[in-house]
Chain A
Amino acid sequence: MTHAALPAPGAGIRKLIRRRDRQGEHGGAPRLSPLWTFVAWLATLAFFAPVAWMVLTSFHQEADAATNPPTPLAALTTDQYELLFSRDITPFLLNSAMASVISTLLVLALAVPTAYALSIKPVEKWTDVMFFFLSTKFLPAIAALLPVYMIVKEVGMLDNVWTLIVLYTAMNLPIAIWMMRSFLAEVPKEILEAAEVDGAGLLTVLWRVVAPIAMPGLAATSLICFIFSWNEFMFAVNLTATQASTAPVFLVGFITNEGLFLARLCAAATLVSLPVLIAGFAAQDKLVRGLSLGAVK
């Protein structure tokens, strides 16, 4: 097996792909007039205002949070966040992290080989297989809740993070397969063939040719799966009680248990949304591709 004959992994291709992308965007898009720029910013700020208000309130004292008229300029404090951690939000965050990270890893372990068998070495009728996977995403989760609840109860897996992990894996698998397939399909077949002609083994091809090109796609896919698992509420609230509850369950729980603390609620809401906000902003350009199941670039 000769490694020397292979082209330098990815670099040239990636440059090519990037150049094509840039041509695709019409950089010479017309400018907005000042009036419309004003409208665009007004709309943007209107949509962002509730998020800004949430974050701002989370740094206020309770007394300043629940005033009428509102007092946005009240003194800032991190008390609410300290209270949250002293009231043990930590186990909920850990459960959420465990459920989302492990299910995302499982999804990738199942989705990557599947996507490979749908793009690089396609099986017969591969489009039918893809659409089968996709169709499972369209079944409403609520209809599965009853049988899942009964089965999980029967095998003693209620209130167990692993139950959520299995469900989240199934929930995200179709999205991941579709996304990964669209990324793997971008590996130029000429290079794959050239590598094969040169006698490169399967692992070499995967590692030196496919991986460098598919890596950004893999990252984007993981982020999307992470976001959906992290935010999931219906299964979490109905299948967990005390041990395995995740962050969204903490949110609804602490309101009913303790009455309302607006500033602390905002702090909790900000805290649990933070990982997804960071992940989402980081993957902005890939977000649309994941949300449209790879159909739109």
Chain B
Amino acid sequence: MTTLTAAPKTTPPPVRTRKPTGINKWRRRIPLLPALIFTIVVTQLPFVATLVISTFHWNILRPGDRRFVGLSNFTFVFSDERLRTAVLNTVVLTASVVLISVLFGLGLALLLDRRFVGRGLARTLLIAPFLVMPVAASLLWKHALYNPDYGLLNGTLNAVYRLFGADNGPTIDWISSYPMPAVVISLVWQWTPFMMLILLAGLQAQPGDVLEAARVDGASPLATFRHITLPHLRQYLELGILLGTIYVVQTFDAVYSITQGGPGKQTTNLPYEIYLTMFRKYEYGEAAAAGVVVVLGSIVIATFALRTIASLFREEISR
């Protein structure tokens, strides 16, 4: 097994056929040119535009007042209290969603790696939350589950309280009282199946003979898990954490539809704050500067992600 310490840049391994030369090289490149050009135009040019806009003072409500201001938008971004809160909220939201769903996902994957009655059906039911449209899931949690008057959570509490003779259960306004946990829980519910699928694939890629040997040698299940399964799972855990982070950092749907960033700014994360700056305050320069900061942050995460993917990838082609 390859280790993770190596740099992501791989020298192309020797795969099939002889070295192409001259005109042949270009003939080989032709099939990938359309995709390459398309990708550069649609994904790279907007970022260049963002960079340029970020150096302007630009509010479309005051069209005459557009001017070059250098880096002052960035000074604003780093000193603005709203944005700092948004950064903090993004970190809290992303870290809790990813870590909790990895833990749940690991638990479920370990269970589903064993045989039991209805395992196939259980697996199918478990991936359903991930397949519900994210906006639909957010609205479902907000209105059908969290609603203080007729939501399923308070409804169930009420039913249980009445069962034990009380008149009424507590009326908890889940979203106002616990805004961040409310968003986190709905996202954990959606992302746990994703983690489970990746970790389950990792568990099933475990060489059976090693586990067999451990059992023959009389290793306890716990020791087997700690010394064989966990090290093997490490890169799958990393992959799950990194891909999860990359997707969850970008969370917009859930914040938009469950809390609108509120109450106050308690659940405003960076994507939502940038959206507000752009479409509510119309401060294009500031929104672009915040965007650049988000891109830089993502590059840091992406570097780790690419490294992990590269190591799995090398393993695959050397197989």
Contacts and interface: CB of A to CB of B under 8 A. Distances in A.
Interface of A: 24-26, 28-32, 36-37, 39-41, 43-45, 47-48, 50-51, 53-54, 57, 65-70, 110-111, 113-114, 116-118, 120-129, 131, 133-136, 138-151, 166-167, 169-170, 173-174, 177, 182, 185, 189, 192, 227, 230-231, 233-234, 237-238, 247-248, 251-252, 255, 260, 262, 265-266, 268-270, 272-273, 276-277, 279-281, 284, 287-288, 291-293, 295-297
A207 B258 CA distance: 49
A45 B53 CA distance: 50
Interface string B234-262: 00100100010010011011001100000
Contact of B32 (A66, A113, A127): A113
Given A131-B8, A146-B288, A292-B198, A40 B111 contact: yes
B197 A272 contact: no
Contacts of A24: 204-205
Contacts of B231: none
Contact of B292 (A118, A143, A192, A230): A143
Nearest to A276: B131
Nearest to B272: A142
Given A125-B12, A173-B35, A288-B198, A37 B116 contact: yes
A206 to B, nearest CB: 11
Given A41-B122, A280-B131, A31 B139 contact: no
Contacts of B159: 69-70
A50 B10 contact: no
Interface string B30-60: 1110111011001111110110010000000
A178 to B, nearest CB: 9
Interface stretch (B70-78, B149-157, B175-183): B149-157
12 contacts: A25-B204, A37-B116, A37-B117, A50-B152, A68-B155, A117-B29, A131-B310, A133-B39, A151-B46, A280-B131, A281-B127, A296-B236
Contacts of A287: 127, 197
A151 B49 contact: yes
The 4 closest A-B pairs by CB, nearest first: A143-B291, A113-B31, A147-B49, A138-B302
A32 B291 contact: no
Contacts of A146: 49-50, 53, 274, 278, 284, 287-288, 291
Nearest to A268: B136
Contact of A117 (B31, B111, B113, B154): B31
B126 A44 contact: yes
B49 A150 contact: yes
B122 A40 contact: yes
Contact of B25 (A51, A123, A173, A233): A123
Contacts of A117: 28-32
Contacts of B252: 142, 233-234
A65 B150 CA distance: 8
Given A113-B34, A151-B49, A296-B201, A173 B158 contact: no
Nearest to A271: B136
A281 B124 contact: yes
B144 to A, nearest CB: 6
A292 B141 CA distance: 27
Contacts, number: 336
B128 to A, nearest CB: 5
A277 B132 contact: yes
A113 B31 CA distance: 5
Q: What's the interface size class on B, roughly?
A: 35 or more
Contacts of A147: 45-47, 49-50, 53, 288
Contacts of B95: none
Tell me what chain B mostly uses at the interface: helix, strand, loop, or mixed: helix
A269 B28 contact: no
A36 B114 contact: yes
A68 to B, nearest CB: 5
B140 interface: yes
B69 interface: no
A167 B39 CA distance: 10
Contacts of B45: 147
A284 B47 contact: no
B243 A291 contact: yes
B174 to A, nearest CB: 14
Among A25, A120, A231, find the residue whose CB has the most chain B CB atoms closer than 10 A: A231
Contacts of B287: 146
Interface in B109-145: 111-118, 122-137, 139-141, 143-145
Given A131-B8, A146-B53, A170-B39, A29 B113 contact: yes
Interface in B189-227: 189, 192-194, 197-198, 200-202, 204-206, 208, 211
Contacts of A28: 208
Given A124-B20, A238-B279, A296-B239, A291 B204 contact: no
Given A124-B12, A167-B42, A142 B253 contact: no
A140 B250 contact: yes
Given A131-B310, A248-B133, A262-B143, A234 B253 contact: yes
Contacts of A173: 35, 38-39
Given A110-B35, A182-B316, 5 more contacts: A32-B111, A136-B43, A227-B131, A233-B134, A265-B144
Contact of B239 (A43, A149, A151, A292): A292
Contacts of B208: 26, 28
Given A26-B208, A140-B271, A284-B124, A295 B309 contact: yes
Among A67, A69, A174, A230, find the residue whose CB has the most chain B CB atoms closer than 10 A: A69
A145 B250 CA distance: 12
